[in-house]
Amino acid sequence: MAAKSLVIVESPTKAKTITKFLGKDFIVRASMGHVRDLPENASEVPAKLKKESWARLGVNVDQNFEPVYVVPKNKKDQVKELQDLLKTSDLLYLATDEDREGESISWHLREVLKPKIPTRRLVFHEITKDAIQNSLEHARDIDEDLVRAQETRRIIDRLFGYEVSPLLWKKMAPGLSAGRVQSVAVRLLVERERARIRFRSAAYWGVKAKLQKPGAEPSFEAELLQIAGKRVATSKDFNPDTGKLDDPNALVLLDQAGAERVVKLLEAGPVSVKSVEQKPFIQRPAAPFVTSSLQMESNSKLRFSAKRTMQVAQQLYENGYITYMRTDSTSLSEEAVRAARSLITAEYGKEYLSPSVRTYETKVKNAQEAHEAIRPAGDKFTSPEVVQASLGQEAFRLYDLIYKRTVACQMADARGTNTTVLVEAGDATLRASGKVIEFAGFLKAYAEESDDENQSDQVRVLPQMAQGDGLKTLKADSLERSTQPPNRFTEGSLIKELEKLGIGRPSTWASIVELVLNRSYAFKKGTALVPTFTAMGVVGLLEQHFANFIDYKYTANLEDDLDAISRGEEQSTVYLKAFYFGDALPGLKDLVQHGEKEIDPRIINGLPLGEWEGKKVEVRIGRYGPFISDGERRASVQDEMPPDELTLDKALEMLETASKEPESLGLHPDLGMPIFLKVGRYGPYVQMGDGRDGAKPKMASLVQGTDLKDVDLVHACKLLALPKTLGTHPETNEPVIAANGRFGPYVQSGSETRSLPANLSPIDVTLEEAMELIRQPKARGRGGMTRQQTSLKDFGINPLNSKGVKLLSGRYGAYITDGEVNATVPRGSDPMTMTPEQAFELLAARAQQILDQGGPEAAKKATKARRATKKAATKTAKKTGKTPVAVPEEVEIEF
């Protein structure tokens, strides 16, 4: 067999697309991402290194920070396949993505495969025939400087996460994590929440009037601006921390009486035009998308999370529809400019074409992640309808955004006139503003505020007016208003702030947001990111003891240092030594050791709310989550309570409620013990006994779907009697038992177990009904139980694939399904408050994950392999009498 060239990319989709552009002399295979990395847990550390003091870090901090790289078990088969293919190849091309991460993957592939044939690096920013051919003609060596920069980032993130996180476990609570960039992002959320907590609302009044020039259309609205020449105070004039005016002498703070006086002036008249000012304006199109602007605009217009945006963009890129999606460059190639300008002339006409080619300067000082903005691929842009037919609705919506933004950036300016009219009534002056778009220009294709191609050329039109014209008041209202706390960050605005501060890079922003949510440091309230009390506590600790490492400027400078390493201007080892051991400032190692000695958990875990009757009331970060304490009483805090809503009064109310003895349902008729109905962290339950006699109270969870109002003494006694024997199996003489277990109610006889359907309760099920269930064959699925899942919520029809989506209760918790794809509800999320959009997004993300892993068939094979492995382990355990012990994994802290 003739030797062929082996081309390695990251994913099967990318491999499939590239194969179309290469001839029979090429074999294209996917590495499935990184083929090796730092050890994820203790079991992956090589045996010869386990006794080293630095082994848990996976980095030899004593020998120039040499990393320990291992091939994970789930990648060994993939590596073996690539090694086998390499034996029959005469040339190896490494065609991973063109950013630092892609360069690093190529380097790791070379180090693992150890090719004895020529090896070249292919770089392209779009997957088209011309781009692939051009990359083959300009193949290069691996850029060692880029690799060192990425490796330095990886080591820094590992050292920070693996040194600081254990400190949080010891001083605060198990399972917490710290990340070099993650913690800085959490700090932004916490500082905004602190501003909301400090915020003091202020009330003020205004006046709005609906006016008309007699004999002219249309009517228009005006708002009160001045009284007797002094500007009327608005929300921007108040200090948010005090609720007082910043400059009370220069402003009029209108009260209700003053507002109603102005209303009477408007109603009584005369009302006339004081002045008219018209100014022409020119609006220029925005630059084509870079990663951050795409994530922000997608979040705003499409309601896609940053993670989902990048998943869909990856799909578009790997199928050859857009250029590489991790970039901070706003430049366009000549080919892209020609394609856009040709399309504008054909679809909109020459008058909508910018007279000259527009160029956009990249604001990022060292844009190096890619060489071009995100745009439709090729020298002729694929129409959005083609993408919709090929990849579906989600891909279409994102591609449509990219397509229109790219086209718009080469279109003519929008032109129009802004008009400001001042109206007077007695000593009151009102202002009305209008806007007329005389030539839509690029707005015909794309507007950042709205994406309506058929928008009117005129908006907020005012009638022709001149100074002295009389006006008629159609309606006047006094309006009570109040200042509002600063808005929380959304995913889009957080990414915008990180970019503004110079923190992170295009390849990391989506990961940062995802990490913050997955680490339970924040939750979503609508689209807003709300930090948890745990996040407040962790940030407080880091600010006190690791101030430099979570300083915004320091973190941004670190990115600059990594850029310098990528250009070969700085040495990685020098930087790592300063980071870990210190130079002018203390290093990470010293700060961790100092924190071990100095951090007092009693102090650091308290978030004060105020004082009451001489007692300090605070939220404390406990081992099992936050709780309120006044030194004597305690009350649990709900997982998703926004910190700014927990006032001192609210905390005292919660303490009072928690300190009350639960109301007894009565005494057990046979045992004479009190029975209580309680609601705990995991839901409602009944409890018999109060523990005062030293005996452990008996508890029983309510059957799912039981209304609390229906729980009386009789019902509680029946629950506490579970499990109960219904009778004897007529064929096996085994007892038939009804119970309410961890995964819901069920009946059992011997080794036969069946879940009870939603219409049968273990309290009321009869022997005959139980026997009918047991005689039914086991359904395939988890545990082999005939489980009729309870539908908890119906999200309606998913517009992306026209399938019905529901929330079901499964054996391992709630999950979302459309009948084909199942998505687990993320830990810490309340599935009952989830919106349809969030449910659709989770399903789409899971579907993409299945595709990335090789499609449904590969997922089935992986599941089958896992089950076979588990079955073999169980057999071995039975033979040897030993139970296999799972090695606990140490979670990777930072990306």
Query: Closest Cα partner for 159 from 459, 558, 480?
Result: 558
How is residue 491 annotated by DSSP?
H
The span from the CA of 578 to the CA of 224, in Å, is 59
Cα 680 to Cα 658: distance, rounded to the nearest angstrom: 11
H helices within 173-228, ranges in order? 182-198
Nearest 5°: CA angle at 371, between 367 and 374? 100
Residue with tokens 């602190």: 194
Q: Which single residue is written with the structure tokens 């994820």? A: 40
Evaluate whether 609 touches 618 at the Cβ level (below 8 Å).
yes
121-126 contact pairs (CB < 8 A, 24+): 121/93, 121/94, 121/95, 122/7, 122/93, 122/94, 122/95, 123/98, 124/95, 124/98, 125/98, 125/323, 125/324, 125/327, 125/370, 125/371, 125/372, 126/317, 126/320, 126/322, 126/323, 126/324, 126/377, 126/378
CA–CA separation, 827 and 565 (whole Å) = 38
3-state secondary structure of 480: strand
* 487 vs 510: CA distance, rounded Å: 21
Of the candidates 602, 597, 610, 604, the one whose C-alpha atom is nearest the C-alpha of residue 544 is 604
**Amino acid in position 421:** V
845 within 8 A of 818, measured Cβ to Cβ: no
DSSP collapsed to 3 states, 115-177? CCCCEEECCCCECCHHHHHHHHHCCECCCHHHHHHHHHHHHHHHHHHHHHHHHHHHHCCCCCC
DSSP 822-838: EEEPPTT--GGG--HHH
Copy the structure tokens of residue 868.
Answer: 């076979």
CB 561 within 8 A of CB 137: no
CA neighbor of 402 nearest in space, from 372, 437, 424: 372
Catalytic residue among 93, 204, 317, 324: 324
> Is 324 known to be catalytic?
yes
Radius of gyration of the chain (CA): 33
Residues belonging to the active site: 324
